[in-house]
């Protein structure tokens, strides 16, 4: 099978990945599914793994954790009711120990023994991939494979970030950065009755935001036209924490959605934190988050902007993502 591998993490323009044309097709272990990959989203986390911002957990790993596939084979043991021919999704969270104090209190996203698709184990930049059946997802109907792929991380993480921001009903939400996750999260918030304001660097991204129905769209560090009840930072730029906090109303919460963020400048207590403003990080997701979001997507049609690239152009897709040339969420067609 064809599969990409991160062979020398570094700037994506230096070609840190290489396409292997004849990898052996993996076999599903006990309790695992083998997926024939139909589509795989191109996430900024893949870029962090490829460029080494996230230290490699497996030498030569195949990136990709927004995997839409067809079950090609099942391993021995419990496979959560999946059968060959079923459509299933593999997402970022791949496994947990299910015994630690975090797992026992329904916070499996904080499990110290957690593993991740496309970081600890080979992901979906390939023709086949495996996933533990207990961590595979049933997919909502009414979407193409291309549309489904970004829902499996961009959508799920955005949904958890929205929960972490504690946006009040009918509140004003600020979104900083407007890529794959943000353009999905904005639609969730709008469907829930929020007033959404977008701050992002790209003119194309601002145009997309306005097309989706947000109240305003301006530059990445520009002040929104109103005070915000909550905000989510999707861009991995620590400098944006300061203007986002300044834009918050009293008691507002800033949720930081990314797994990687550049350094945050020095905060001024009075300008940025006083009046009970808060900063919260977002760490992965629980399976309950994923199921709740995918159920939401099954009942509320989300418009997914997903430019396609063939599998053999995965490196080009990451370069375009890095350079800000992707409006929405790029997807590999396998």
pLDDT digits (tens, 9 = 90+) for 174-192: 999 999 999 999 999 999 9
Assess whether 173 and 238 both reside in one domain.
Answer: yes
Both tokens assigned to 211? 């097309």
Q: What tens digit of pLDDT does each residue of 137-155 get?
A: 999 999 999 999 999 999 9
Residue 146 in any domain: the answer is no
Residue 291 in any domain: the answer is no
For residue 324, is pLDDT > 90? Answer: no
Beta-bridged to residue 280, according to DSSP, are 255
Alpha helices for 154-202 (secondary structure H): 156-165, 180-191
Assess whether 123 and 44 both reside in one domain.
Answer: yes
Residue 112 in any domain: the answer is yes
Residue 238 in any domain: the answer is yes
Both tokens assigned to 243? 């203007």
Both tokens assigned to 220? 């990445």
Residue 111 in any domain: the answer is yes
Assess whether 27 and 105 both reside in one domain.
Answer: yes
Residue 299 in any domain: the answer is no
Assess whether 113 and 213 both reside in one domain.
Answer: no
The residue ranking higher by pLDDT, 327 or 329, is 329
Average pLDDT over residues 79-108: 97
Assess whether 51 and 116 both reside in one domain.
Answer: yes
**14 in helix, strand or coil?**
helix
Both tokens assigned to 141? 């109907």
pTM of the predicted protein model: 0.93
At residue 56, the pLDDT reads: 83
Sort strands 172-176 and 228-233 into parallel, antiparallel or unpaired.
parallel
Q: How many domains does the chain contain in total?
A: 2
For residue 115, give its domain range. Answer: 3-139+304-333
For residue 170, give the CATH number of its domain: 3.40.50.720
For residue 36, give the CATH number of its domain: 3.90.180.10
Alpha helices for 175-279 (secondary structure H): 180-191, 203-212, 241-247
Return mean pLDDT, the chain. 96
At residue 170, the pLDDT reads: 97
Assess whether 107 and 227 both reside in one domain.
Answer: no
Q: What tens digit of pLDDT does each residue of 238-274 get?
A: 999 999 999 999 999 999 998 999 999 999 999 999 9
Residue 298 in any domain: the answer is no
Assess whether 164 and 215 both reside in one domain.
Answer: yes
């Amino acid at each position: 099978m064809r599969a990409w591998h991160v062979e020398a993490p570094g700037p994506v323009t230096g070609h840190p990945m290489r396409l292997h044309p004849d990898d052996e097709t993996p076999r599903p272990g006990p309790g695992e599914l083998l997926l024939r990959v139909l589509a795989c989203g191109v996430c900024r986390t893949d870029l962090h793994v490829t460029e080494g911002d996230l230290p490699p957990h497996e030498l030569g790993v195949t990136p990709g954790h927004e995997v839409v596939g067809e079950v090609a084979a099942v391993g021995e043991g419990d496979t959560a009711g999946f059968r060959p021919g079923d459509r299933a999704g593999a997402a970022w969270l791949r496994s947990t120990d299910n015994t630690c104090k975090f797992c026992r209190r329904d916070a499996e996203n904080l499990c110290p023994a957690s593993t991740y698709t496309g970081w600890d184990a080979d992901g979906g930049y390939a023709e086949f991939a495996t996933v533990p059946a207990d961590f595979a997802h049933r997919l909502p109907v009414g979407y193409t494979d291309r549309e489904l792929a970004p829902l499996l991380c961009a959508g799920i993480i955005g949904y958890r970030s929205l929960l972490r921001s504690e946006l009040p009903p009918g509140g004003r939400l600020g979104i900083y950065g407007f890529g794959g996750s943000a353009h999905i999260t904005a639609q969730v918030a709008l469907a829930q009755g929020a007033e959404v304001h977008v701050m992002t660097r790209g003119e194309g991204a601002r145009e997309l935001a306005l097309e989706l129905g947000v109240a305003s769209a301006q530059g990445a560090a520009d002040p929104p036209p109103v005070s915000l009840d909550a905000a989510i930072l999707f861009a991995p730029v620590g400098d944006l924490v300061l203007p986002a906090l300044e834009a918050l109303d009293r008691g507002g919460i800033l949720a930081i959605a990314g797994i990687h963020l550049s350094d945050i400048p020095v905060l001024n207590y009075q300008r940025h934190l006083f009046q009970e403003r808060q900063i919260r990080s977002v760490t992965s997701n629980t399976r309950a988050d994923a199921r709740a979001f995918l159920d939401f997507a099954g009942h509320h049609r989300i418009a997914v902007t997903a430019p396609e690239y063939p599998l053999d152009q995965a490196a080009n897709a990451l370069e375009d993502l890095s350079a800000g040339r992707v409006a929405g969420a790029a997807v590999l067609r396998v």
